[in-house]
Amino acid sequence: AKPVDGIIVKGYDRAAPQGVGHVKVAGNYAADLLPNSLSKQQGFPIGLYLDAKTQTMVEEFSTSNFVGINVEENKFVTPKSGSVLPSITNKSLMTIAKDEGLTVEAREIPLEELETFDEVLAVGTAVVVTPVGSITMLGKDETNTKRYKFGENSEEVGAVTQRLYDKVRAIQNGEVEDKYGWNFKVT
C-alpha cells in the first residue's frame, strides 16, 4: 500500500487517563468520529493523537497503534500507555521484529522524537500495516506548521515495514511455518 499522510489531532483526545482507551469497546471509536472527519476534510486520511494530559507524548492513530522504525539504530518503537489499546497485531509485529534482530521498545515517545524515525506504521487488525509517509502538525499559520517526513521518499513503503508486513501475512496465510502457534485450523 502507498504511504498515507497523517495529521496530529488538536483540540480532541481519543482516550483519557484511567478511561477505557486500553480496551476494545465501541465507544472508543466515537471520540474519533468528528476529528477524523475534520482531518479528512483537510486531506489527511489518518490522525495521530497525543496524550490527553500533556499533549506532548505520541499515543496512537485514530483506529490503529503507532510504530516508529529507526533504521540506523535498528529500533522498533511503540508507545506504552494505559490509554492505548494493546493490539494483537502490534504484539505480533513486535515478536517478528525481535526475531528479525530489531530492538523493540514499548515506552513513552515524546512528540519531538517523530523526526528520528525513518519509517512510521499504523498497525491494527483490519489493515495489519498502513505505512505513513508524513505527519503534519498544523500551527496558527504556515510558519508554525511542522511536517515530519519518513524515509527518503515518503511515497514508498520502507524496507523494514515491507519486511514485517510480508512476514506477518505469510504466517497468516500459512505460507511459512507458524513457529509462534498463532494459527489454528478451524474445521
Catalytic residue list: 24
pLDDT at 140 (0 to 100):
73
Taking the C-alpha atoms of residue 185 and residue 4, their distance in angstroms, rounded to an integer, is: 34
Q: 9 to each of 24, 32, 57, 147, how far by Cα in Å?
A: 21, 10, 12, 13
**Domains of the chain from N-terminus onward:** 4-172 (3.20.10.10)
pLDDT at 67 (0 to 100):
98
Q: pLDDT 10s digit of each residue in the chain, 187 long?
A: 789 999 999 887 776 665 555 556 566 666 777 778 888 899 999 999 999 889 999 999 988 999 999 999 999 999 998 888 788 999 999 999 999 999 999 999 999 999 999 999 999 988 899 999 999 998 876 677 899 999 876 678 999 999 999 999 999 999 999 999 999 888 8
Which of 84, 108, 88 shows the shortest CA–CA distance to 96?
88
37 phi, psi to nearest 5 deg: -65, -45
pLDDT at 159 (0 to 100):
94
Which of 122, 118, 124, 126 shows the shortest CA–CA distance to 102?
118
Specify the pTM.
0.90
158 phi, psi to nearest 5 deg: -70, 155
